Amino acid sequence: MNSNPIRAVIGLIAIGAFVYFTFFAGNYGAKVTEGNIEVYYKDGATKEQAQTLASHLSRVWGAAPDKRSVQLVKNGDTPRFRMVVKPEFQNDANFLAQLGIFGAQLSRDVFGGVPIELEACDDHLKTVKALPIPPAFRHGILKGKIELFYGDGVAKAEAEKLLASLEKEFANAPVPLLTVTLTKRDATFTVSMPYDPEKLKAPEVRAALKTYCTALSQTAFDGAPVEWAAVDPSFNLIEVLKP
């Protein structure tokens, strides 16, 4: 299949300006730093865990002139990641949805796949919103420029088969990182990916996606039905395409 029409409309998740405050004075725990990142830790979180988190955040957020402050604590055995969020983002539903996705990335990349809790806080570290990881993002695999998340109803082997197909299809996609989810309802698999809704209207794109669903059914899912969900960067549904 000529996949160029599909690649042309791929969207990109870009979680941006949300940690631009240092904490005011308070008992936030011990602290480690990595560049402009401050990670406070207490209540069962260890210095080693805080340093690993700081190193990861320094890589994914990159250099910036301002300090960015987060806190790592434990709720029983569950890591709790708490971060300062700008006031204008604290009630932004789309931004908070993307932040929940960021929590899934942290679970995968920093905490070995262990589910984490994530809290958006004000600059006094008072919790504004508790953000669960979305069910479709419970498990994650990262390979090359593709990250695939899947829910509890999907077997890891099924997710790995999809990832192998996506690597072939989207290796040259015009984005630095492509985020995809795989869910299952009854016997039907749903593949979700961010798309430009205007470009999605093109007949050749729609035809290519439907053809790709048919191919995935045979190559990855033993003939089970496959549908393609176009979503926005916050993974709100735009449209479902079926063969």
Mean pLDDT of 64-91: 87
Task: Pick the last residue of a domain from 83, 105, 134.
Answer: 134
Neighbours of 86 (CB within 10 A): 16
| Range ranked top by mean pLDDT from 30-34, 82-86, 205-209 | 30-34
Helix 47-61 / helix 93-109 crossing angle, nearest 10 deg: 120
Mean pLDDT of 93-119: 91
Residue 144 scores a pLDDT above 80: yes
Residue scoring higher pLDDT (39 or 84) = 39
Which pLDDT band, with edges at 50, 70 and 90, does 22 fall under?
low
According to the model, what pLDDT value does residue 137 have? 95
Query: Residue 189 belongs to what domain range?
Result: 136-241
Residue scoring higher pLDDT (104 or 18) = 104
- If one counts the domains in the chain, the total is 2
Assess if residue 198 is contained within a domain.
Answer: yes
Percentage of the chain beyond pLDDT 90 is 51
According to the model, what pLDDT value does residue 181 have? 96
Is residue 140 domain-shared with residue 103, that is, in the same domain?
Answer: no
According to the model, what pLDDT value does residue 17 have? 47
Assess if residue 208 is contained within a domain.
Answer: yes
Is residue 121 domain-shared with residue 165, that is, in the same domain?
Answer: no
Mean pLDDT of 170-197: 86
Is residue 121 domain-shared with residue 142, that is, in the same domain?
Answer: no
Assess if residue 53 is contained within a domain.
Answer: yes
According to the model, what pLDDT value does residue 176 have? 72
Assess if residue 71 is contained within a domain.
Answer: yes
Is residue 200 domain-shared with residue 178, that is, in the same domain?
Answer: yes
As to burial, measured by CB atoms within 10 angstroms (0-12 exposed, 13-18 middle, 19+ buried), residue 41 is: buried
Give me the chain's average pLDDT, please.
86
Is residue 75 domain-shared with residue 112, that is, in the same domain?
Answer: yes
Assess if residue 177 is contained within a domain.
Answer: yes
| Closest listed residue to residue 111, CA positions, set 47, 31, 53 | 53
| Closest listed residue to residue 227, CA positions, set 194, 183, 197 | 183
Cα separation, 140 vs 111, in Å, equals 12
According to the model, what pLDDT value does residue 178 have? 85
Assess if residue 1 is contained within a domain.
Answer: no
Task: Pick the last residue of a domain from 106, 134, 162.
Answer: 134
pTM: 0.85
Domain at 121, CATH number: 3.30.300
Neighbours of 151 (CB within 10 A): 17
